[in-house]
């Protein structure tokens, strides 16, 4: 006689949990949604308002000052290509989403990372959660985003923040834990309070590591923002998505190349911040 093992209705439970949240906290989610949307629109309008050549110049200048003349020239060439391919507006939309998602992710991640570094118990709770967040396939996060925030950019930001946050937390924790023990002792020996120790010793010394984490967060945010086209986020991902639906591989590749250019610029730029801090 076969033993019937009842199926565990994990999916059902998660769904009813989500339902409960959406119906009972709709005020909260609507509030978040409104604030986020305002931020997105504001930044997007600002970046669109600057003429293409002007923004190109600004970005190139920033790249030059931060990382040298080669990146400056690279920025001009890359951005000019995007402009030429008529992908400027989607590029700006993607950039906006990346910037906002990264800001939110970092604002949450750094305090959490600090807390996890200072409390052994919190560390043991948070690390497996981060593993879970990172191993979950990226677009699974899109699903709960929709009932909370509907189709569109706010959902994209929500999913992106969750997906891109772990490295910033992890590296912040790592950076603080890596501060040599004798420096902590020195700070203690002179009678530093915990917050003096944090702001005068631990954080400054972990800054290069924190910056490495932020760099990774930006890269993950960019990849997620592209995927988020599936739930109606504007930007380069949307171009790729449309090309797929219309079976136009050429258009798809053009948008793909624009993503690569944006990724390289963001990567080099944040890495250069990291290096200048370190030296």
Partner 1 sequence: MSETRPVKIQVRGLSKVFGNQPKKALELRDQGQKRPEILEQTGQTLGLSNIDFDVYEGELLVIMGLSGSGKSTLIRCLNRLIDTTEGEIIIDGENIPTLSTKELLECRRRHFSMVFQNFALFPHRTVQQNAEYGLEIRGVDKAERTETARNALKQVGLDGWEDALPSQLSGGMQQRVGLARALANDSSVLLMDEAFSALDPLIRKDMQQELLELQHRMKKTTVFITHDLDEALNIGDRIILLKDGEIVQIGTPEQILTAPADEYVERFIEGVDMSRILTARHAMRPVRATAREDDGPRTALRKMSENGLDSIYVTSRDRKLVGLIDADSADKAVKEGQQSIQSLIHQNFRSVAPDEPLHNLFAMFSDKSFPIAVVDEERRLLGVVVKGAVLAELAEAGDN
Q: Which residues bind partner 1 (CB under 8 A)?
A: 180, 182-183, 185-193, 196, 200-201, 204-205
User: Residue 155 Cβ, how far from partner 1 at the closest point, in Å?
Assistant: 41
Indicate the residue among 83 and 273 with the shorter CB distance to partner 1: 273
Q: Cα dist. 73→62, 69, 265 in Å?
A: 11, 6, 11
Report the nearest approach of partner 1 to the CB of residue 215 (Å): 20
To the nearest whole angstrom, how small is the minimum distance from the Cβ of residue 204 to partner 1? 5
Helix (H) or strand (E) segment spanning residue 87? none
Of the pair 176, 225, the CB lying nearest partner 1 is at 176
Measured from the CB of residue 192, what is the shortest distance to partner 1 in angstroms? 5
Cα(63)–Cα(60) distance, rounded to whole angstroms? 5
CB nearer to partner 1: pick between 187 and 224:
187
How far does the chain reach from its first CA to its final CA, in angstroms?
A: 72
- Rounded to whole angstroms, the Cα distance separating 229 from 217 reads 19
Q: Which is nearer to partner 1, 58 or 183 (CB)?
A: 183
Among residues 200 and 248, whose Cβ is nearest to partner 1? 200
Asked whether 67 and 266 are in contact (CB, 8 A), the reply is no
Yes or no: say if 201 and 192 are a contact pair by the CB < 8 Å rule: yes
The three-point CA angle 150-151-152 to 5° equals: 115
Report in angstroms how near the CB of residue 172 gets to partner 1 at its nearest: 17
């Amino acid at each position: 006689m076969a033993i019937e093992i009842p199926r565990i209705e994990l999916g059902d439970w998660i769904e009813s949990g989500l339902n409960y949240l959406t119906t009972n906290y709709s005020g909260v989610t609507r509030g978040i949604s409104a604030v986020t949307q305002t931020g997105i629109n504001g930044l997007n309008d600002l970046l669109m308002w600057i003429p293409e050549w002007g923004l190109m110049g600004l970005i190139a200048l920033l790249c030059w000052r931060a990382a040298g003349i080669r990146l400056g020239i690279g920025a001009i060439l890359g951005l000019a290509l995007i402009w030429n391919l008529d992908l400027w507006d989607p590029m700006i939309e993607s950039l906006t989403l990346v910037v906002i998602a990264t800001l939110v992710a970092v604002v949450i991640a750094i305090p959490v990372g600090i807390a996890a570094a200072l409390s052994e118990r919190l560390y043991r709770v948070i690390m497996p959660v981060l593993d879970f967040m990172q191993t979950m396939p990226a677009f699974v996060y899109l699903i709960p985003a929709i009932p909370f925030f509907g189709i569109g950019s706010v959902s994209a930001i929500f999913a992106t923040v969750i997906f891109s946050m772990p490295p910033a937390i992890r590296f912040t924790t790592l950076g603080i834990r890596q501060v040599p023990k004798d420096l902590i002792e020195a700070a203690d020996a002179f009678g530093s309070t915990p917050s003096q120790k944090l702001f005068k010793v631990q954080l400054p010394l972990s800054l290069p590591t924190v910056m490495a984490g932020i760099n990774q967060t930006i890269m993950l945010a960019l990849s997620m923002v592209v995927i988020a086209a599936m739930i109606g986020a504007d930007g380069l991902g949307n171009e790729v998505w449309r090309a797929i639906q219309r079976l136009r591989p050429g258009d798809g590749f053009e948008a793909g190349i624009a993503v690569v250019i944006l990724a390289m610029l963001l990567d080099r730029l944040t890495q250069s911040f990291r290096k200048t801090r370190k030296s």
